[in-house]
Amino acid sequence: MKPDNSAAFAGRGQTKFLAGNFIDAIADYSEAIRLSPDSADYYTERGHVYIVVNKLDAAIADLTEAIRLNSQNYHAFDERGLAYFRKGDLDRAQEDLSAAIAIYPAPQFYANRGHIYEAQRRTQEAINDFRLALMGDPSLVHVLNALKRLGAEAGIASETEKRVREGEALARKNCGGCHGVGSKGFSVNKDAPEFRNIYRRHSLFQLRQPITRAVIATHNQMPEFQLSNDEMNAIVAYINSLPRPADR
């Protein structure tokens, strides 16, 4: 109906990618880029597919263009860092992951940089990043395995459990009047999503942004309250720890 709709091509490209049809996904993203050549997101998404099919130079070219179009595109820095990592260029990989973290300190970015530090034999820096990753997302099992591999897992389980308990207490205090904050039960306010289902509205990877705005998911009775950075991180860690349908 609208053959010049770039968003439709990108959406179909994403669906084809999820179905494992990588070649056709690249074709759809390429058409989306032709129609909207100033979209950093489309270059980032096609760059990710190129990484999956191991066309690393093409991925780096796309992700570099995405960064040129949007210098705050932390996804592009992360993806390009992983492409450089696969190519064995550890210094550039570390620089890109550090840039991603400077823009948006996501647990997965710390985890990715930790693996780069480990490959560089910068053991203590790797351990520090892995610990930061787990403090933000206790579900990152591969990070715990990395700490075990480095002989540094002692105490991390209790640290993350403490972090999760802090986040749960904050969630119940500030959000429990409307939201169902536990692993079971329903929200008092029907417009407020249960915390265990927030992943349906917000990527857990990007959860810190809506929490920073104090609107995990908008509803009419959302109270106003302020959280420190540490408190935000604790709530994110708690939400990330909740089992989702795929986990049960």
Asked whether residue 247 carries a pLDDT value surpassing 60, the answer given is no
Asked whether residue 210 carries a pLDDT value surpassing 60, the answer given is no
Provide the residue range defining the domain that includes 139.
105-154
Q: Do 138 and 39 share a structural domain?
A: no
Residue 171's pLDDT band (cuts 50, 70, 90): confident
DSSP category for residue 213: T
Asked whether residue 95 carries a pLDDT value surpassing 80, the answer given is yes
d(CA 150, CA 140): 16
Total of domains in the chain: 3
Q: Do 176 and 123 share a structural domain?
A: no
pTM: 0.73
Q: Do 240 and 175 share a structural domain?
A: yes
Q: Do 91 and 35 share a structural domain?
A: yes
Q: Do 114 and 77 share a structural domain?
A: no
* pLDDT over 70 percentage in the chain: 85
Q: Do 128 and 98 share a structural domain?
A: no
Mean of pLDDT values over 42-54: 96
Mean residue pLDDT of the chain comes to: 85
* pLDDT over 90 percentage in the chain: 50
Residue 54's pLDDT band (cuts 50, 70, 90): very high
Mean of pLDDT values over 183-204: 74
Residue found under tokens 């705050």: 72
d(CA 237, CA 81): 24
Q: Do 92 and 1 share a structural domain?
A: yes
Q: How many CB atoms lie within 10 A of CB 227?
A: 15
Q: Do 235 and 185 share a structural domain?
A: yes
What per-residue confidence (pLDDT) applies to 153?
Answer: 75
Give the domain CATH number at 195.
Answer: 1.10.760.10
Token pair in block for residue 10: 């990108």
What per-residue confidence (pLDDT) applies to 221?
Answer: 56
Q: Do 7 and 70 share a structural domain?
A: yes
Residue at 25: amino acid letter: A
Q: Do 116 and 73 share a structural domain?
A: no
Q: Do 37 and 84 share a structural domain?
A: yes
Cβ atoms of residues 90 and 60 within 8 Å: no
